[in-house]
A and B are shown apart, each in its own frame.
Chain A
Amino acid sequence: MELIQQLVNGISLGSIYALIALGYTMVYGIVKLINFAHGDVFMVGSFVGFYAITVMDLSFISALLISMFTCAIFGVLIERIAYKPLRNATRIAALITAIGVSLLIENGLIYIRGAQPEAYPNNVLPMDKLDIFGVSISSQSILILSVSIILMIILQFVVHKTKIGKAMRAVSFDSEAAKLMGINVNNTISATFAIGSALAGAAGVIFGIYYIKIEPLMGVLPGLKAFVAAVLGGIGIIPGAMVGGLLLGVIEALVSAAGYSLWRDGVAFIVLILILIFLPQGLFGKNKREKV
């Protein structure tokens, strides 16, 4: 029973990773950039949600929506200011810029409001224990899981059934050809950043409610782990990011359950290095030969 409880915890944590990983994977798929600042967008989303709930006294759903909206704008701003001038630069230059943006957001926020942590109020969502077959599961984890699943279903719908989703898939497949077909590549890239960042914002609010404590550097580790999740599922592949995130959450929970909770943060990176060595295309990826 203990094991099942840990699995439920792992899936809750994994759904947060999955939401962040989706942003990584979409951005990587479309501009081939590891957006290091994505973890910090997640952090900003968490703070926006916190202020929406405590200062503006809003409910969970409206805080979630405000946070997603703010993060979407924030993500587009980052893309337009920092990444767009580097569209034709080397990959390394873009990667270094992404690191710079990440450091700037973290330290900018520390500069504005200080490094002290905040605590999410614990009455945002009802705290009931549900008893299912002898396993007690908090209603929070179920709500969190359902919110994540709903967001992922909406994302699937957007990517596969709408015009902008079609444009996104086209640009990620071949941006030159997409441009020739009359797709506005710049707007499509901005839309990708907006959607990815909105998901990260939602993940931030959910994280805050589930783990209570938030601080300006909280985005670093979940961000890196979400990247691991994206690589695990095959980077650039949307269902891969979902599965990768859930899998990583479960692996971490199992490692904690086995009594190695101090090693938990290391496991993600060991998974990363193993997957990069043995299955670099990820679980869902297709193996591509590099052509000269």
Chain B
Amino acid sequence: MTTLKNSKGFWLSIVLALIFFGIMQFSISSGMLNPFYINTLMFIGINIMLATSLHLIIGITGQFSIGHAGFLAVGAYASAVMTMKLELPFIIAILAGGIIAAAAGMVIGIPSLRLKGDYLAIATLGFGEIVRIVLLNIEYVGGASGMQVSHLTTWPWVFACVMITVIVIRNFTNSTHGRACISVREDETAADAMGINTTYYKVAAFVIGAFFAGVAGSLYAHNFYIIQPSNFGFLKSFDILIFVVLGGLGSLSGSVLAAILLTIVTTFLQDYPETRMIIYSLVLILMMIFRPQGLMGTREISTLFTHKKTKGGKKDGSHNTVA
């Protein structure tokens, strides 16, 4: 019964999303929406992809990664090389961006598995910085001055990628694999004792998250006319982290909502970057002090309408409560 109910809601939201897509596509092609709003819309889409992909790593699997901009950068540069240097079609560039970022996710995921909590956070931060510095030193992709990229990202591309990302991550979370990932988040040792291959699931989360971050990177690169390594510093990683934290660690709809909300806030505060960052940082601090579970906690939007109880737990799976 519950599966039927759930799948009904699932198909309903897909239909709603398609209607939304149609309205937007109509207003864009009829010229009702000016380029500023179209750009904001694309940004919201890209940020949703970034937020949900990081949500899979942090929110579902509990691996605190703050180097997500590294995957974004890998995807952006890989796809830009595909279209600009090798002159391949955009679809191949998007896939290549995702796959190469996923490979990077595996490269960083496997050694990082020996680390936990703070150490993992710092190692991923270091990985993000290494990616940036490596890109800075490769002449082939323009070094510090960056790389020219033609504008190929359009609303249908963004919409399709966002839909695929959200659906894949939602279905992954609700599958056996997703539950295994959640058990790793709740208590790694217990999950291990229950026969779950924790290493496998941690790497899987990293690879899938990195793949979608890479896809988002392809769209991101082709939405600008130029990409530079400085676009992918750790401030970018923190931006993505804020989406996930604000939305609630462990809530897919929460991170989507936070991505939409914060992208709009960012757009309005574009001329005042310091004000934006002050607001962001205050949100982070106050959130952690007064509502550490985020806006949605581990709940999803759909559970707000039904009266189902969901159980939340500690996110990092540790019982150490010092600090």
In whole Å, how far is A244's beta carbon from the nearest beta carbon of chain B?
14
A262 vs B138: C-alpha distance when bound (angstroms): 11
A256 vs B239: C-alpha distance when bound (angstroms): 32
Q: Which of A83, A90, A231, A273 contacts B292 (CB 8 A)?
A: A90
In whole Å, how far is A84's beta carbon from the nearest beta carbon of chain B?
10
A91 vs B320: C-alpha distance when bound (angstroms): 8
A93 vs B316: C-alpha distance when bound (angstroms): 9
Interface residues of B in 252-294 (CB under 8 A from A): 274-275, 277-278, 280-285, 288-289, 292
Interface residues of B in 222-247 (CB under 8 A from A): 234, 238, 241, 245
Nearest A residue (CB) for B126: A269
Does residue B55 face the partner (Cβ distance < 8 Å to A)? no
| Residues A32 and B278 in contact in the complex (CB < 8 Å), given A269-B130, A272-B126, A280-B119 | no
Chain A interface mostly helix, strand, loop or mixed? helix
Whether the Cβ atoms of A110 and B274 lie closer than 8 Å is yes
Does residue B123 face the partner (Cβ distance < 8 Å to A)? yes
Residues in A whose Cβ lies below 8 Å from that of B274:
107, 110-111, 115
Q: Which of A88, A106, A220, A224 contacts B321 (CB 8 A)?
A: A88
In whole Å, how far is A261's beta carbon from the nearest beta carbon of chain B?
11
Residues in B whose Cβ lies below 8 Å from that of A220:
234
Residues in A whose Cβ lies below 8 Å from that of B281:
99-104, 107
Whether the Cβ atoms of A89 and B285 lie closer than 8 Å is no
Chain B interface mostly helix, strand, loop or mixed? helix
Whether the Cβ atoms of A276 and B285 lie closer than 8 Å is no
Q: Which of B126, B285, B320, B322 contacts A82 (CB 8 A)?
A: B285
Residues in A whose Cβ lies below 8 Å from that of B114:
276-277, 280
| Residues A97 and B126 in contact in the complex (CB < 8 Å), given A32-B320, A108-B278, A265-B133 | no
Whether the Cβ atoms of A103 and B316 lie closer than 8 Å is no
| Residues A273 and B111 in contact in the complex (CB < 8 Å), given A82-B285, A104-B285, A265-B133 | yes
A78 vs B66: C-alpha distance when bound (angstroms): 22
A175 vs B323: C-alpha distance when bound (angstroms): 11
A173 vs B280: C-alpha distance when bound (angstroms): 35
A147 vs B84: C-alpha distance when bound (angstroms): 53
A108 vs B274: C-alpha distance when bound (angstroms): 7
Q: Which of A175, A265, A280 contacts B322 (CB 8 A)?
A: A175
Whether the Cβ atoms of B323 and A94 lie closer than 8 Å is yes
Nearest A residue (CB) for B137: A262
A97 vs B238: C-alpha distance when bound (angstroms): 12
A273 vs B124: C-alpha distance when bound (angstroms): 9
Interface residues of B in 292-323 (CB under 8 A from A): 292, 314-316, 318, 320-323
Does residue B147 face the partner (Cβ distance < 8 Å to A)? no
Whether the Cβ atoms of A103 and B280 lie closer than 8 Å is yes
Does residue A227 face the partner (Cβ distance < 8 Å to B)? yes
Residues in A whose Cβ lies below 8 Å from that of B136:
262
A25 vs B158: C-alpha distance when bound (angstroms): 45
Does residue B115 face the partner (Cβ distance < 8 Å to A)? yes
Does residue B213 face the partner (Cβ distance < 8 Å to A)? no
Does residue B206 face the partner (Cβ distance < 8 Å to A)? no
Q: Write 22 A-B pairs (CB below 8 A) sorted by A numbering.
A: A31-B323, A32-B323, A82-B285, A83-B323, A86-B288, A86-B289, A94-B288, A94-B323, A99-B66, A99-B284, A101-B281, A107-B277, A107-B278, A110-B274, A111-B275, A111-B278, A175-B322, A224-B125, A224-B129, A231-B119, A231-B122, A268-B126
